[in-house]
Amino acid sequence: MKYDPEKTHLMSRIREVLESQSLAGLATSSSGIPYLSLIAFAVTDDLRYILFSTDTNTRKFSNISENPSISFLIDSRKNTVNDLSSAMAVTATGHVERINEQEMDKFKRIFLGKHPQLKDFVDSQTTVLLRAEIDKYLLVSNFSKVSELVMSD
């Protein structure tokens, strides 16, 4: 694969936002009605997957079961005046997949590496650890500069 300095720089900036934050907004939908949830998340090193856990008795899980297309918003704001010029926001779009048994330990280790306090929740009988395969990232910086990273195989 050919080295692309612009893509490498963009991936670095996206990773900076994702690794600096613990929580994200997760958008799901059911019957065309959007639903937004606050979730704890982790990302794989290659940015291919965003991991999160949820109780199977939630609206978000029900929505994902009906429609696996999702979107995340992760941002670096601090609720200061400077946020308009200095905050970055990452939107990630993709679809949710169940993690197969052979890969569960690997993805659980990544998620709990970022959120060790959620071990009991993740290990609960009614909780599922999910992965979202990301198709595209959009990075907004300097209030209105938008950069796009399409994830390809």
pLDDT tens readout for residues 60-88: 999 999 999 999 999 998 877 777 778 89
Residue 65, classed as helix, strand or coil, is helix
Superfamily of segment(s) 5-150: Electron Transport, Fmn-binding Protein; Chain A (2.30.110.10)
* Contact indicator for 149, 136 with CB cutoff of 8 Å: yes
Q: 97-130: per-residue pLDDT in tens?
A: 999 999 999 999 999 999 999 999 999 999 999 9
What's the longest Cα–Cα distance across the chain?
47
Centre a 10 Å sphere on the Cβ of residue 106 and count the other Cβ atoms it contains: 11
pTM of the model: 0.93
Where residue 125 falls (left for φ over 0; alpha for ψ -120 to 50; beta otherwise) is alpha
Task: Scan for tokens 């639903």, then name that residue.
Answer: 35
